[in-house]
Amino acid sequence: MEKEIFRGVGTALVTPMNESGVDYDAMARLVDHQLEGGVDALIVCATTGEAPTLTDEEHIRTIKAVVDRVKGKIPVIAGTGSNYTDHAVEMSEKARDVGADGLLCVTPYYNKCTQRGLVESFYKIADATDLPMIVYSVPGRTGVKIMPDTCVELSKHPNIVGIKEATGDMATVVDIAAKCGDSFAIWSGNDDIVVPILSMGGSGCISVLANILPREARAICTRFFEGDIAGAAALQCRYKALIDALFSEVNPIPVKAALAAMGMMEDRLRLPLTPMEDGHRARLLELMRAEGLRV
């Protein structure tokens, strides 16, 4: 692949919180857990990181905290997307200034836009820095899908390197791969279809599962890239029930509950997100115990 920022698993990090705000001590523990687990990249202040509820100051300080803790060992990719393009430009410039290695930019949400609007918006953000940028298609949250022909246009920008594909629609993934080839990397945005996307030439996964099982999430990609397709598929199937439990309520509600049960952080979210319901929590903890996690 011509323009990969990373190959393998990038963890979509949660943003740990306490009564005072962002819990930077807990963030240090989470980053260390990820580095020890051997992940290939960290994605900060995106969907799983509750970016919409962070102030701009918290947002940039959190990116800097992760960059400082990682110390260049793996890429740190900053979520800087917005439904206001100029704000996304500003946040991207600030992320660059605190040392981010790349950007993740979601499609505009609520006000939405046309496919032409997507191209113009993403181009303006990409023009603002020299950082490589991944565009993020998650229409279940934003109401906007990045179409395959739009990916072709986006691939022409030297700073736009690929897509986090979270539509869950494999036909769309196949169409992007067919039309863009090696000029546009594809990362799975869904933990439950990593192997299918890798089979279409995908570069890896931006993973929620990796928050709690970094080594195991990475192994799915590693086995595939080493040619052990059956082994990768077996791991995909093994973790399917746990992945489903991690998405039994709106992300990141379950993964924060999981990390709190592991003693990594407080189980604290910002409204409108609320703590996990008891029945879903019990099922999640049961599945975590089955994987040997102490909860």
Give the domain ranges of the chain: 8-228
The stretch 214-233 carries a mean pLDDT of: 98
Superfamily of domain 8-228: Aldolase class I (3.20.20.70)
Residues that are catalytic: 136, 164
According to the model, what pLDDT value does residue 171 have? Answer: 97
- pLDDT, tens digit, for every residue of 178-211? 999 999 999 999 999 999 999 999 999 999 999 9
pTM of full prediction above 0.85: yes
pLDDT tops 90 at residue 82? yes
3-state secondary structure the chain: CCCCCCCEEEEECCCCEECCEECHHHHHHHHHHHHHHCCCEEEECCCCCCHHHCCHHHHHHHHHHHHHHHCCCCCEEEECCCCCHHHHHHHHHHHHHCCCCEEEEECCCCCCCCHHHHHHHHHHHHHHCCCCEEEEECHHHHCCCCCHHHHHHHHCCCCEEEEEECCCCHHHHHHHHHHHHHHCEEEECCHHHHHHHHHCCCCEEEECHHHCCHHHHHHHHHHHHCCCHHHHHHHHHHCHHHHHHHCCCCCCHHHHHHHHHCCCCCCCCCCCCCCCCHHHHHHHHHHHHHCCCCC
